[in-house]
Amino acid sequence: MKSSLIRTRLSLAGALLPFVLVASCKDTELPAPPTETAPVLLPGEVCDKDNPQPLRLTFDPPSVVVAPGESRPVRLTIEPDACEPNSATFVSAYPQIAAAPETAKFDLRHATYDFKVVGGEIGRTTITVAMEGVDDDYKPKVITGDLPIHVRDRAAPTCAAGETKEQTMGPASETLIGPGSLATSSLAIPPPAFTRTDEYMLPSFPASITCAGEDLTAELPAAALRKLGPAVTFGAKAPLSMAKSLRREVELTVPVNPAAFPSGARLRHLQILYKGPRIKKARPIPVANARVEALGDGYVLKFQTPWFGTYQAAVVETAGLAMRSRRITNRAVIGFSMGGGGAAVFGMRHHDKFDAIAPLGGPSDWTWLLWYLENNALGGFCPAGQTCPKVAPNRHPMEETYAHTMDFENWFYQPGGGNGGNFPRSEYVQIFEDLALAMGNPNGSSTTPDLLHMALGPKRSDPWMTVTDAEADARGLPRGTDCSLTVEPIGDDPDEARQKEIDQKCKAYRCDPKHAWKAPANYFDDEYNPDGTLPVISFCDGAQLEGASPYRNQWAPGGNKPVNLALAVDLNDNGIRDEGEPVIRSGHESFDDCGADGLCNPQEPGYDPETNPDPNQDDYDYQLNPTGLEGNHRHDPGEPFRDYGLDGVPNTATRHVAGDPGEGDGQYTESVGLANFYKNDAHSMLSRRVTDIPGGPVTDDALRRIDVLSDGGVRDLFNFATVANHLTGQIHGRLGPTGLPLRSVSYYNGFNFIPGQPVDRPRDFNPSLIRWADVASNPSVRYGDIDATESMIKDGDGQHVGTALQLLHRLMTAFFYAGQRWPNADRRLVEDYNDDNVAQLPAECSGLKIGTCEKMFTGPRTGRTGPIAISLPPGYALKSMVEQNVRYPVLYILHGYGQDPRDLKAVAIFTDNFMNVAQRSYATRLPKFIIVYVDGRCRVRDGKPECIRGTFYMDSARPDGPQLDAWFDEVTDYVDQNYRTMPASDVDMLD
Give the pLDDT confidence of 877-915 residue by residue, as tens digits: 999 999 999 999 999 999 999 898 988 777 777 788 899
Contact 857, 977 (CB under 8 A): no
Residue scoring higher pLDDT (547 or 973): 973
Q: What is the pLDDT of residues 302-360, one digit of tens each?
A: 999 999 999 999 999 999 998 999 999 999 999 999 999 999 999 999 999 999 999 99
Asked if the structure places residue 301 within a domain, the reply is: yes
Residue 410 confidence (pLDDT) above 90: yes
Q: What is the pLDDT of residues 366-380, one digit of tens each?
A: 999 999 999 999 999
Q: Are residues 191 and 299 in the same domain?
A: yes
- pLDDT class of 35 with cuts at 50, 70, 90: low
Mean pLDDT on 71-92: 97
Asked if the structure places residue 177 within a domain, the reply is: yes
- Supply the CATH number for residue 294's domain: 2.60.220.30
Sign of CA dihedral 677, 682, 683, 687: positive
The share of the chain scoring above pLDDT 70, in percent, equals 96
Q: What is the pLDDT of residues 218-259, one digit of tens each?
A: 999 999 999 999 999 999 999 999 999 999 999 999 999 999
At 962 the pLDDT is: 96
Amino acid at 485: L
Q: Are residues 610 and 730 in the same domain?
A: no
> What totals of helices (H) and strands (E) does the chain contain, helices first?
16, 40
At 32 the pLDDT is: 59
Whole-number Å distance between alpha carbons of 671 and 436: 11
Whole-number Å distance between alpha carbons of 870 and 901: 9
What phi, psi does 149 have (nearest 5°)? -130, 135
Whole-number Å distance between alpha carbons of 117 and 971: 49
Asked if the structure places residue 355 within a domain, the reply is: no
Count the Cβ atoms, other than its own, within 10 Å of residue 941. 15
Nearest alpha carbon to residue 149 among 192, 204, 93, 206: 93
Mean pLDDT on 197-214: 97
Mean pLDDT on 29-58: 83
74's enclosing H/E stretch is: strand 71-79
Q: Are residues 170 and 267 in the same domain?
A: yes
| 8-state DSSP, 741 | B
Give per-residue burial for 93-125: e unless 16+ CB within 10 Å, then b.
ebeebbebbeebbbbbbbbbbebebbbbeeeeb
Q: Are residues 169 and 308 in the same domain?
A: yes
Residues 6+ away with beta carbon under 8 Å from 102? 90, 115
Whole-number Å distance between alpha carbons of 545 and 819: 46
| Cα 131 to the center of its chain, rounded Å | 42
Helix, strand or coil, per DSSP, at residue 395: coil
Q: State which of 815, 845, 860 marks the end of a domain.
A: 815
Residue 919: left if φ>0, alpha if ψ -120 to 50, beta else—which one? Answer: alpha
Enclosing domain of residue 738: 164-321+713-815
Q: Are residues 202 and 302 in the same domain?
A: yes
| Cα 309 to the center of its chain, rounded Å | 27
Q: Are residues 622 and 725 in the same domain?
A: no
Whole-number Å distance between alpha carbons of 573 and 512: 16
| 8-state DSSP, 969 | H
Q: State which of 772, 787, 815 marks the end of a domain.
A: 815
Asked if the structure places residue 944 within a domain, the reply is: no
Q: What does the mean pLDDT of the chain come to?
A: 94
| 8-state DSSP, 374 | I
Residue 26 confidence (pLDDT) above 60: no
Residue 117 confidence (pLDDT) above 70: yes
At 492 the pLDDT is: 72
Residues 6+ away with beta carbon under 8 Å from 836? none
Residues 6+ away with beta carbon under 8 Å from 845? 851, 852, 853, 870, 872, 877
What is the value of pTM for the model shown? 0.95
Residue 763 confidence (pLDDT) above 60: yes
Asked if the structure places residue 533 within a domain, the reply is: no
Q: State which of 815, 843, 866 marks the end of a domain.
A: 815
Asked if the structure places residue 110 within a domain, the reply is: no
Highest mean pLDDT out of 694-708, 829-843, 939-953: 694-708
Q: Are residues 304 and 169 in the same domain?
A: yes
Q: Are residues 747 and 609 in the same domain?
A: no
At 16 the pLDDT is: 27
The three-state DSSP-derived secondary structure of 663-697 is: CCCCCCCECHHHHHHHHCCHHHHHCCCCCCCCCCC
Contact 18, 914 (CB under 8 A): yes
Residue 483: left if φ>0, alpha if ψ -120 to 50, beta else—which one? Answer: alpha
Whole-number Å distance between alpha carbons of 359 and 932: 16
CA distances from 106 to 31, 78, 764, 827, 920 (A): 12, 8, 30, 16, 14
Residue 22 confidence (pLDDT) above 80: no
At 9 the pLDDT is: 33
Residue 15 confidence (pLDDT) above 50: no
Mean pLDDT on 154-175: 97
Q: What is the pLDDT of residues 802-860, one digit of tens each?
A: 999 999 999 999 999 999 999 999 999 999 999 899 999 999 998 778 899 999 999 99
Mean pLDDT on 516-523: 98
Q: Are residues 606 and 737 in the same domain?
A: no
Asked if the structure places residue 234 within a domain, the reply is: yes
Residue 468 confidence (pLDDT) above 90: no
Residue 69: left if φ>0, alpha if ψ -120 to 50, beta else—which one? Answer: left
Q: Are residues 597 and 729 in the same domain?
A: no
Asked if the structure places residue 682 within a domain, the reply is: no
The three-state DSSP-derived secondary structure of 270-334 is: CEEEEEECCEEEEEECCCEEEEEEEECCEEEEEEEECCCEEEEEEEECCCCCCEEEEEECCEEEE
Residue 7 confidence (pLDDT) above 50: no
The three-state DSSP-derived secondary structure of 922-954 is: CCCCCCCCEEEEECCECCEECCEECCCCECCCC
Residue 64 confidence (pLDDT) above 50: yes
What's the domain count of the chain?
2
